[in-house]
Structure 1
Amino acid sequence: MKHSFLLVSLGLLLTGAAFGQPTAPGRRPEASRSVVTVSGYVHERGSREALIGVSVYLPGTSTGTTTNTYGFYSLTLPAQDSLRLVFSFVGYEPVQQTVAFRKNTELNVLLTPGRVLSEVTVTGSRTGEEKVSESPQMSAIDVPVAQIKKIPAFLGEKDVLKVLQLMPGVQKGSEGSTGIYVRGGGPDQNLIILDDAVVYNANHLFGFFSVFNGDALKSVELIKGGFPARYGGRLSSVIEMNMKEGNKEQLHGEGGIGLIASRLTLEGPIQKGKSSFLVSARRTYLDFVARPIIKQQSGGETIAGYYFYDLNAKVNYDFGPKNKLYLSGYFGQDRFYARDRKEGVNIGLNWGNATGTLRWNHLFSDKLFANTSLIFSNYKFQISSDEESFEGDDAFSLRYNSGIRDYSLKYDLDFYPSPQHSLRFGAQTTMHRFTPSAVVLKSTIINQYKQEVDAINVLESGLYAEDIWRPTARWRINGGIRLSHFMHDQVNYLRPEPRLSAAFVLKPNLSLKASYALMNQYVHLLSNTGIGLPTDLWVPTTDRVKPQQSEQVAVGVAKDFAEKGLSLTVEGYYKTMKNIINYREGASFLLVNDPTSADKVRWEDNVTSGKGWSYGAEVLLQKKVGRFSGWIGYTLSWTQWQFAELNFGKKFYPRYDRRHDASIVGIYELSPRITLSGAWVYGTGQALTVPTGRYQANRHLPIKDPYFGGSLPYLAFGEEVNEYGSQKNTFRAEPYHRMDLSIQFHKKKKHHERTWEFSVYNLYNRRNPFFYDLDAKEQGQGQPTKTVLYRYSVFPVVPSVSYNFKF
């Protein structure tokens, strides 16, 4: 009954929006007065790059709109002799345009990069994008890519995900990692999108870097709650990134050389003004540095190395105002290899992503914009291990593979009937192909054993409608519904997902906000390592494993300080999660100890389902423009999980529950040639399960593998084993805090611009905990040893230098 009521209400809302006669705020309808439309595209001057989220508004009023993902806008207003519009965007000089407005008008605008001038305050009291107090959207944060490039970075590598970790409501994983934990959710509950394609593993170097090269990105947005209906399939957050399109006017490039990696980006026209290309590549050279050292130390017997690379590419063609075509892709790999010639051992560890998106924009009319996307996404992981046979000894060979591959079709419509309504409709269907594990094992002792898990094919679809509605001058509402569908063998789920966000303007630049969202997730990530290893597995919903589901309610206050370029948001939220899954104690997919029983074990036998709660408050004070920019963020939160088969069925705090989390980020342009930046972060220590003591085994015992689960070979009599308490995660690590600083020196040459950057990670050398373990400590001669809990850290103060250039 509740679902039917929601569907009927939304249908009435959308019907009224589509067929109702639009009127200006505070004006009675006049039958004799016609309405006309002004529409067009907003691009960057000099490159013709489409700009996302540009404010288009009538000065002195609240009437306006913003450009969509492809730079398109549309405004339908009563006809008049002339119409004055302002176009403004963060980091660009505003533009005013006056046009005759007696008939439908196409108006394309170019914005010039540069500092926001004082005229913006005079014309519209805006600093660029839509004010946070005027938008109905809650819990959304966007960080300009130009600002990301100025923030101090670990080893000089600018990382989008690490910058998002500095935002309230977002917890990082372990020290130095790019793990994202949003409002109590796990890393699999984040929908990470690059040009419409889902990226399933966003980590390089075991989580220390993300796969996203900032030089190739145009925009980054994080949504933590109040999700618009167009997004689905995850419980906790949406991280949407769009790649640059490429310069349509002239060839440009930028790149950098750092301590561990170098990168290069090239963009330029294919047909000037019509089409362009973008190619961006990055590669580490850790293997070139480490390989000769390892080889020398081993006397030439050992060869080992590790490297990763990224490649982004995009081409587009403008067929005119009605049709545009885009083709983009991302390819990345991590490779670790080690070979010992003396022992005859050869080990490999490889994982990587590949995505591809073909998009077609079509303008049906000056009010109706459509986009069709064909999307491919593939994630693969492989372990290989070979041991050669010497003098009749056992020869061993292992291949372990897992992954997920998607083929998707997506269709979206943007309809702009009036300034009071902006409607979006669409549908998406995805064919998932899961390979939870495929093991091939050969051994001369057991002759030959081969075990392969069959691939699992499932279908996931979604149908949505949403409306950004301004019923009065004070109300801003985004109402919508998504109908999600999942099919696997005999399993079928059809679930409505209502969404609602609303803002009530108390007075100019100040509003109250509230939101509600119900989300379903049909794919799951199995992880028992806690340190972001690529051995974590993606698996689907089945007849035994139900879809995850969350409900989230949030309320808050938003305030714009337009004259200072500041915005302040304060939000409180409460979130419940159902059917979240985890490994049972000691479970694993790496069945190498007893491979002959592998075919008897299904992955569903190794998991248990439970529920979770997360609630808290977040504060964000942000400044995006001016010589001094940055933000201050603070989070107070609680997260608890409960599984019938873990911790005796009692509630416990998951590892990344943090009571307090704070960040201060500042960027100061001392002069056009010098930029200073700094960041300070603080977080309550992680909830951990640590050993409480040690004892010697008095019989042969199997022990659990702390990294992959399962059982290790049996302990011999007298060997030492750790003892753990009865409750899970009752130990709190010490608080985490550190400070990073950076200084950039810019210089413009005749044909290029160069930047030297010097940065320091963990300036005051804080020994933050990475993990804890028990070890023996000598007490002196003749005294027995004492068992002590030791804290281990990984990153002391880390200086770095990099050279960046543009031409």
Structure 2
Amino acid sequence: MYQIRLAISTLSLFFFSTVILQAQSTIFGYVKDIDTNKAVEFVSVYAKGTSYATETDKYGEYSLTIPSGENLTLVFSRIGYVETDMRLDAMKANQKRNININLAPEVSDVDVTIRTSKIEDVGMVVEEVTELKKLPTASGNFESILPHIALGTSGGTGGELSSQYNVRGGNYDENLVYINDFEIFRPQLIRASQQEGLSFPNIDLIRDVSFSSGGFESKYGDKMSSVLDIRYKRPDRFAASVSGSFLGGSAHIEGSKRLGKNAYNKLRYLVGARYKTTRYLLGSLDVQGEYIPDFSDLQSYISYDISKSLQLGVLTNYNRSKFRFTPRERVSASGLFTQVLQLTTIFEGREVNDYENAMAGVSLTFIPEKDKNPLFLKLLASYYDNYESERFDLLGFYRLSQVEFDLEGEGSVNEVAVLGVGTQQLYARNRLKYTIANTELRGGYELQVSDRANHFFQFGVKYQQEDIDDRLSEWERIDSAGYSLPFDENEVLVNDLIKSNNQINSYRIQAYFQDSYNILKANSYELKLNGGVRVHHWSFNGETKISPRFQIFYRPLKSGKEITYKIAGGLYYQPPFYRDIRRISGTINEDISAQRSMHLVAGLSYDFDWKRISRKKFRLISEIYYKKLDNLISYEIDNVRIRYSGENDASGYVAGLDLRLNGEFVPGAESWLNLSILQARESLNDVQHLKFVQGQEEPEQVDYVPRPTDQFFNLSLFFQDYLPKNKDFKMSLNLSFGSGLPFGQRGNNQIYRNTFRYKNYQRVDIGFSYQLWDESKRQTKPYHFLRSTQQAYLSFEVFNLLQIANVGSNTWIKTIGNQQYAIPNFLTSRRINLRFRVDF
């Protein structure tokens, strides 16, 4: 309880924390090339898990001040060389020690994290994933972790079953995802979170992740909200893992093998397979029936060092998701004690959704051996093949009534009035096929101006071909009290009739250039200036957009405090993809234009000591931002389905504040706390918006209304703890709270737009794990049945611990009097999961 109280107290204490000085020691020495015996400059030297870092000068020499009395791991890292770790025993106060290192050259595909200076860590949130694997998540997808580690990120309306996420008032389609520099594309037809399968990132294969919530560099693509940059491992030795739970399982294998006479001719391989089924979770939904979800994928990343300067990489993925559902009955109620609405529905029919996609990417990286002004060139080519289909014919016989509870008797439910009786039929035969092929050349060149200043120029050119074949056939029929709605004496009318067949072939040409200028004035300041520009041309509408972007980072060195200030911004265009240009009717808008967002971000990163809690530093990141939005394509969200208008018919803005604190609230167990406040507003062109004000008879005119992603407050906490006398017993707590997202009346969401809100999203997931085995126990337990493994643990997880009924969307019921009632569709209830994992 004491540790939990300390964790909670951070909300009020971290702004007033002071830096407590400690006794220090010094290590110094030189770094040389093991083959040529020449000095190696710009080698990053840092103590792992701390903020203590430096780099070698042109003579290969370095000096680093470190805390005394601690066992540390020193890391020596530079592009083109094998990263070297060294265990350093605790040193006495004011002690000095000489450590000289010889680095072995190695081919790099620019995946190695280069820590040229401390200021480099501030542009994006960078995290390793070792601890994040223990986070209890219902979806099993990596993206479910992002709200806990990334600034301004929330889970959206899909809730715990979805891997979709919103960033600073944007929707899911506004986010970029890269894996080893390959841009990742995702399914388009998914309507509800229970249909979602496995997302592309496989956490067993990930080395580290970088995330930017806005104001990112020109080298990243054309989206308006965020970029997630994932790097897969480059293994040097064999390792494997196997895990399983009530929700599926996974396995992976990795390693390296020397091929050829030279030591650098290495083949490295990563292979991962996953299977997921949410049938157990879906049994807690209010719609009862037979759920058969089957999701699986297989992916690999294989690289081969052809020479010291040339490396080949191949990334492949095959993903199959099949969701079959036969509903039987639904009984759900909503409202207060004074007026409770109950919807009872008996179903006929079936739903079958099938998503199949494959991807293959090849990269060739060239890094010539140069003592000065290093450069790299990287050629990438990838191909995506996607097939998606959704087929359903569902007939629901519903009865909507007002009920009251017999609180004095047996607690029975009594029907007071019948508000609507009828039939709702939903029909769809939709199919989407698309292929995306692209080729890209990237490069970088470092120009050393002086010992304390350098430029790093980067450029890229990309060609992308897109072929889309879409067939839509869907409608809804409502029969209320024997009358088909909308009612016509001469014919039977249906709602939301969409019939279309679209084929689109287009190409895109993209290019960027940027320069990062770094200046270091000893004992004064460190400054990084990044400026660049992107160009995007799309053949479909003949439009070319130019996006200038900038970043400024400043770190004063005189104060002794580890604070870095940041200002970033620019123009971020988002040229449409297929669903953006498709109107609600299914027709294509050939005059569509790119959406635009102007970013302005200011913030700071502060590493500070909090000795009462932990000996390791905490990090506080704070950012304020403003985004001016225009040329928007308006949309509405139903569960996870984004329905675009297909027109550039809106403008708006987003403003907010993000805070993140991470550190070891419990020694040896890192935790993250995220807090976000935002306001997202929009205005439809040529529409005078109105809203009802309590106490006024006439509605009030307003210039802006809430966007569908307007979530005023969001809080996420990932907290870890363990038993003080037995660290094998650990606890992981995942807490999420978000204010309700807005929505509007179905079919009438223009003038009175997004006037209602869902209830607040509140959820607590908790996991208890016991480490059955660790390789450090081999000497004390040489005959343990798990002795051949590296580590193994068993987890007991409780999803939705407090059993809160969160809402994912609404079912709209219309009566013969043309009244509409919104009945909430609740997300999953409390469920228990058992999970095991073995690492080899």
Q: Report the TM-score, using the length of structure 2 for normalisation.
A: 0.67
CA-CA distance at 1:215 after TM superposition? 0.7
The one-character-per-residue Cα deviations of 1:701-732 (angstroms, maximum 9, x if unpaired) are xxx6xxxxxxxxxxxxxxxxxx8895111112
Picking from 350, 355, 368, the partner of 2:374 is: 368
The one-character-per-residue Cα deviations of 1:224-259 (angstroms, maximum 9, x if unpaired) are 1231221121111100112223x333x321021111
Distance 1:623 1:643 in 2: 44
The one-character-per-residue Cα deviations of 1:659-716 (angstroms, maximum 9, x if unpaired) are 111122212344442221112221111112247xxxxxxxxxxxx6xxxxxxxxxxxx
Greater shift, 142-151 or 766-775, is seen at 766-775
The code of the aligned residue for 2:549 comes to: P
* Corresponding position of 1:79: 59
Distance 1:333 1:647 in 2: 46
* Corresponding position of 2:19: none
Distance 2:587 2:211 in 1: 25
Distance 2:121 2:587 in 1: 32
Picking from 413, 438, 449, the partner of 1:407 is: 438
Indicate yes or no: 2:655 matched with 1:655.
Answer: no
* Corresponding position of 1:199: 184
Picking from 292, 309, 316, the partner of 1:305 is: 292
The code of the aligned residue for 2:596 comes to: Q
Distance 2:179 2:75 in 1: 33
* Corresponding position of 1:382: 388
Picking from 627, 630, 637, the partner of 2:678 is: 637
CA-CA distance at 1:493 after TM superposition? 0.9
The answer to whether the 8 A contact 2:765-2:801 is kept is: yes
Distance 1:199 1:536 in 2: 26
Distance 1:674 1:478, change over 3 A: farther
* Corresponding position of 1:226: 215
CA-CA distance at 1:558 after TM superposition? 2.1
Distance 2:225 2:93 in 1: 37
Distance 1:585 1:168 in 2: 22
The code of the aligned residue for 1:480 comes to: G
Distance 1:37 1:487, change over 3 A: farther
Indicate yes or no: 2:669 matched with 1:628.
Answer: yes
Picking from 430, 443, 464, the partner of 2:513 is: 464
* Corresponding position of 2:134: 150
Higher strand share: 2
* Corresponding position of 1:185: 170
The code of the aligned residue for 1:582 comes to: S
Picking from 37, 40, 61, the partner of 1:38 is: 40
Picking from 620, 623, 626, the partner of 1:568 is: 620
* Corresponding position of 2:599: 552
Distance 1:484 1:439, change over 3 A: same
Distance 1:351 1:609, change over 3 A: farther
Distance 1:286 1:62, change over 3 A: closer
SS in 1 for 2:363: strand
The code of the aligned residue for 2:40 comes to: V
* Corresponding position of 1:239: 228
- The 5 Å alignment of 1:146-295 reads 146-154=130-138, 157=140, 159-164=142-147, 167-174=150-157, 175-176=159-160, 177-201=162-186, 205-207=194-196, 210-245=199-234, 247-249=235-237, 251-271=238-258, 274-285=266-277
Indicate yes or no: 2:769 matched with 1:769.
Answer: no
Distance 1:637 1:132, change over 3 A: farther
* Corresponding position of 1:501: 552
* Corresponding position of 1:444: none
CA-CA distance at 1:145 after TM superposition? 0.7
* Corresponding position of 2:766: 741
Distance 1:188 1:206 in 2: 17
Indicate yes or no: 2:627 matched with 1:578.
Answer: no
The answer to whether the 8 A contact 2:281-2:831 is kept is: no
The code of the aligned residue for 2:735 comes to: W
CA-CA distance at 1:269 after TM superposition? 2.8
The answer to whether the 8 A contact 1:141-1:223 is kept is: yes
Distance 2:436 2:794 in 1: 41
Picking from 597, 602, 613, the partner of 2:653 is: 613
Greater shift, 486-495 or 552-561, is seen at 486-495
The answer to whether the 8 A contact 2:314-2:360 is kept is: yes
Greater shift, 331-340 or 668-677, is seen at 331-340
Distance 2:584 2:207 in 1: 30
Picking from 448, 461, 472, the partner of 1:428 is: 461
* Corresponding position of 2:419: none
Distance 1:537 1:144 in 2: 45
The code of the aligned residue for 1:546 comes to: S
CA-CA distance at 1:634 after TM superposition? 0.9
- The 5 Å alignment of 1:88-167 reads 94-95=73-74, 108-111=82-85, 134-135=118-119, 140-154=124-138, 157=140, 159-164=142-147, 167=150
The answer to whether the 8 A contact 2:45-2:53 is kept is: no
CA-CA distance at 1:151 after TM superposition? 1.8
Aligned length: 649
Distance 1:612 1:658 in 2: 15
Indicate yes or no: 2:734 matched with 1:687.
Answer: no
The answer to whether the 8 A contact 2:72-2:90 is kept is: no
Distance 1:279 1:745, change over 3 A: same
Q: Report the TM-score, using the length of structure 1 for normalisation.
A: 0.70
* Corresponding position of 1:72: none
Distance 1:796 1:164, change over 3 A: same
The code of the aligned residue for 2:167 comes to: V
The one-character-per-residue Cα deviations of 1:296-349 (angstroms, maximum 9, x if unpaired) are x99xxxx98331112120111123432222211222121235799xx9999642
CA-CA distance at 1:381 after TM superposition? 4.1
The code of the aligned residue for 1:461 comes to: Q
Distance 2:709 2:499 in 1: 38
The answer to whether the 8 A contact 1:131-1:560 is kept is: no
The code of the aligned residue for 1:763 comes to: L
Distance 1:136 1:555, change over 3 A: farther
* Corresponding position of 1:454: 503
SS in 2 for 1:729: coil
Distance 1:751 1:538 in 2: 58
Distance 1:383 1:61, change over 3 A: closer
CA-CA distance at 1:458 after TM superposition? 1.7
The runs of 5 or more residues in structure 2 that have no matched partner are 1-37, 97-112, 328-346, 394-426, 475-497, 610-614, 690-701, 774-785
CA-CA distance at 1:39 after TM superposition? 5.6
SS in 2 for 1:513: strand
The answer to whether the 8 A contact 1:523-1:539 is kept is: no
Distance 1:580 1:776 in 2: 31
SS in 1 for 2:146: helix
State the Cα RMSD in Å. 4.8
The answer to whether the 8 A contact 1:664-1:681 is kept is: yes
CA-CA distance at 1:152 after TM superposition? 2.1
Distance 2:295 2:669 in 1: 35
Distance 2:129 2:224 in 1: 26
Distance 1:611 1:553 in 2: 17
The answer to whether the 8 A contact 1:40-1:106 is kept is: no
- The 5 Å alignment of 1:515-534 reads 515-524=568-577, 526=579
Picking from 290, 303, 306, the partner of 1:316 is: 303
The code of the aligned residue for 1:497 comes to: P
Distance 1:650 1:566 in 2: 43
The answer to whether the 8 A contact 1:524-1:581 is kept is: no
The answer to whether the 8 A contact 1:190-1:234 is kept is: yes
The code of the aligned residue for 2:787 comes to: K
The answer to whether the 8 A contact 2:674-2:715 is kept is: yes
